[in-house]
Amino acid sequence: MSAPDPVRCAVIGTKTIAGQHLPVLQTLPEAEVAALCDIDAEALGETSRRFGIERTFTSVEDLQTWGEFDAVYVLVSVLAVAEVSERFIRAGIPTFLEKPPGLYSSDTERLAEAARETGTTAMVGFNRRFYTCLQAGREALLDTGDVVSVTVHADEDAGDKWFGEKFPPEVSMRWAYANSIHALDLLRYLGGEVAKVTSVVRKRRLPKPDSFSALLEYESGAVGRAIADHFGPKGSSHWYEARTASAVLTSQARSSPGDRLSSCTLERHGREPVRFGLTGLDRRLKPGFPGESRAFLRAVQTGEPVSFPAPTLDDAVRTMKMIDEITGAEEWAPKPAS
């Protein structure tokens, strides 16, 4: 049987993270980059030259009118993701959305509804679920029994986001959704559905709540602990620990260099620890990006829905509602009235 035709992808948003997605799309045989689109002509021109992609558009309207693509990658600034994605989802065009799909759960719910109504394939870029080390470590952990506890730290020094220039205050305010969502989503990836959250929220360094400590009760009876301290000089420090009754899976130690999610270790009584590192394309491309794109492109090629661990919009809504409970942000940073 011959291989299916590559999916012709239009990439919208061509700056920072596009520079990590494009090498993946140009490596995978399942993809072909048909066009680039960005409202910033300079960023567009630079990326077009760097990756040798000739067809470019400075508006999504013009891109959509051209229409010679099978799917879109929406990699635009945080506040633009929902609006740009909704246009393509409503038009029935398979859509990959960078996180967060919406900055507010209600926006993500609207997108999920649009995908359901139109039957459009849509997938959210929670790429940590696709780290090859975590996938292998999770499988090995589950071989030892049911998960009984999950601890996730989504600590980061969010001061530079709050006081810097790249992010508008609305995004800095909801940094837990804009970025810590990567780690917090692992609470559900590792532990399953959450039934109840009890949280303590404090304001320490930033002029807004910046310290979140929550106890989770999973539907399975397992417990979770979510910690996100968004201050301190340590920089980004996302890590996890998940236990069954006889084993524990822990992400890389702080003393090792680099991203603490880039390896994990399974320990069991009376056995040598087993370490899982990044494998395959994760070793030379942005970890998790090859796996998530393969899952999305396969769904587009086959017409089958994306399936676990690929995050659907409904799945993203559940993660965001869990974060609503952890942060209480609907109280102190609700969606501005438009």
Q: Is 302 in the site for ligand NAD (CB under 6 A)?
A: no
Nearer to ligand NAD, 159 or 215 (CB): 159
Q: How far apart are the first and last CA of the chain?
A: 53
| From candidates 11, 28, 60, 300, binder to ligand NAD by CB under 6 A | 60
Q: Is 51 in the site for ligand NAD (CB under 6 A)?
A: no
Question: Are 31 and 297 contacting, i.e. CB atoms less than 8 angstroms apart?
Answer: yes
Nearer to ligand NAD, 125 or 141 (CB): 125
The residues that bridge with 238 in the sheet, in sequence order, are 154
Which is it for the CA torsion 323, 325, 326, 327, positive or negative? positive
Least distance between ligand NAD and beta carbon 75 (Å): 5
Q: Is 21 in the site for ligand NAD (CB under 6 A)?
A: no
| From candidates 7, 81, 147, 247, binder to ligand NAD by CB under 6 A | 81
Q: Which residue type, as a one-letter code, is found at position 235?
A: G
Nearer to ligand NAD, 60 or 326 (CB): 60
Residue 38, both tokens? 């960005």
Cis peptide preceding 309, ω within 30 of 0? yes
Q: Is 99 in the site for ligand NAD (CB under 6 A)?
A: yes
Q: Is 84 in the site for ligand NAD (CB under 6 A)?
A: yes
Going by C-alpha positions, the residue among 242, 238, 210 that lies closest to residue 225 is 242
Cis peptide preceding 100, ω within 30 of 0? yes
Q: Is 13 in the site for ligand NAD (CB under 6 A)?
A: yes
Q: Is 226 in the site for ligand NAD (CB under 6 A)?
A: no
122/108 Cα distance (integer angstroms): 12
Count of helices and strands (H, E) across the chain: 13, 14
CA 11, distance to chain mean position in Å, is 17
Burial bucket for residue 83 (CB in 10 Å: 0-12, 13-18, 19+): middle
Contact track, ligand NAD, 119-148, x by CB under 6 A: ------x-x---------------------
Q: Is 17 in the site for ligand NAD (CB under 6 A)?
A: yes
**Residue least distant from ligand NAD (Cβ):** 15
Q: Is 150 in the site for ligand NAD (CB under 6 A)?
A: no
99/129 Cα distance (integer angstroms): 13
CA 128, distance to chain mean position in Å, is 7
Q: Is 55 in the site for ligand NAD (CB under 6 A)?
A: no
Least distance between ligand NAD and beta carbon 170 (Å): 13
Stretch of 2-10, 80-88, 146-154, 234-242 contacting ligand NAD, by CB under 6 A: 80-88
Site for ligand NAD in 26-45 (CB under 6 A): 37-40, 43
Least distance between ligand NAD and beta carbon 250 (Å): 22
Site for ligand NAD in 259-278 (CB under 6 A): none
Stretch of 79-87, 205-213, 262-270, 324-332 contacting ligand NAD, by CB under 6 A: 79-87
Residue 141, both tokens? 């952990």
DSSP percent split of the chain into helix, strand, coil, nearest 5: 40, 25, 40
Binding site for ligand NAD (CB under 6 A): 12-17, 37-40, 43, 60, 75-78, 80-81, 84, 98-99, 125, 127, 178
